[in-house]
Amino acid sequence: MTAADREPVLVVEDVVAGYGDVKVLDGISLTVDAGEIVTVLGATGSGKSTLLRCIVGLLPPWEGRVLINGRDVNAAGTEEREEILREVGMAFQEAALLSSMTTAENVALPIVEHWHADEETALMLARMRLGRVGLGRAGDKMPAELSGGMRKRAGIARAIALEPRLLLLDEPSAGLDPTTARAIDELILGLKARGDMAIVAVTHEVASINTIADRALMLADGAIIACGTLAEVHASAEPRVQAFFRRELVESAETTSLVDELEWKA
């Protein structure tokens, strides 16, 4: 095993980031090794997707840094950045397939560009990737002809097209029927079993978390409120973590009703 194999695939160090003047992430740190699945949990708007955007360089952090295979994605020049990102696959929440191409052409695009395969070979490999997510017959369809779940799976097929060392999944099983969601979980576990891929999955699907996660990180208001192995996070005393796993509403002690606030008391 070389030194490069032993170092973490992803290191996020004290990242602070946001949009405009609004801080969304506040001091996030995370390390992910090869052969490991880390799930990022949290309520809607807690900063999960923003963390993925920071990792992949779409949103440069205000402070801190992101290292992928030991290289800082935000400090890299254009060509080095391309080299770094070739080792990263990202599946977007809404798939973000290029609408002017067929599904197979979407998956073949990075293969043609980065592996310099001829178009026919790339399309064949693309169909193989699509087959892995159960879309072997959908290669010739345009993205607009696919259902939401099929688009999501096609997005995952594109993300794994180049067999990346770091796979980022934004809500991979949200909105899917239980059978398809289970198939996606199995696919993710299969990718992990190869041993050389680090996977970060943003999700709030409790069933999926319990199936795939080695470690979990829970965000609330842009900060980490729980981090550790799945068992450690389950055992967290933090009320928001408990509420998340029990699918309960978090009642704030400060909550007052509008009538209490507005009613005149002489």
> By the criterion CB under 8 A, which residues form the site for other proteins?
53, 56-58, 78, 81-86, 88-90, 92, 94, 96-100, 109-110, 113-114, 116, 158, 255-259, 261-264
Which CB atom, from 1 or from 259, has the smaller least distance to other proteins? 259
Min separation Cβ 219 and other proteins, Å: 21
Which CB atom, from 44 or from 99, has the smaller least distance to other proteins? 99
How many C-beta atoms surround the C-beta of residue 131 within 10 A? 14
Min separation Cβ 81 and other proteins, Å: 7
Min separation Cβ 13 and other proteins, Å: 21
Which CB atom, from 84 or from 123, has the smaller least distance to other proteins? 84
Which CB atom, from 97 or from 226, has the smaller least distance to other proteins? 97
Min separation Cβ 151 and other proteins, Å: 11
Query: Cα–chain-centroid distance for residue 105?
Result: 23
Rounded to whole angstroms, the Cα distance separating 180 from 168 reads 19
Which CB atom, from 151 or from 192, has the smaller least distance to other proteins? 151
Rounded to whole angstroms, the Cα distance separating 154 from 138 reads 9
Farthest CA pair distance, the chain: 82
Name the 3-class secondary structure at 221: coil
Min separation Cβ 52 and other proteins, Å: 9
Rounded to whole angstroms, the Cα distance separating 196 from 153 reads 22
CA distances from 205 to 14, 91, 171, 222 (A): 26, 16, 8, 19
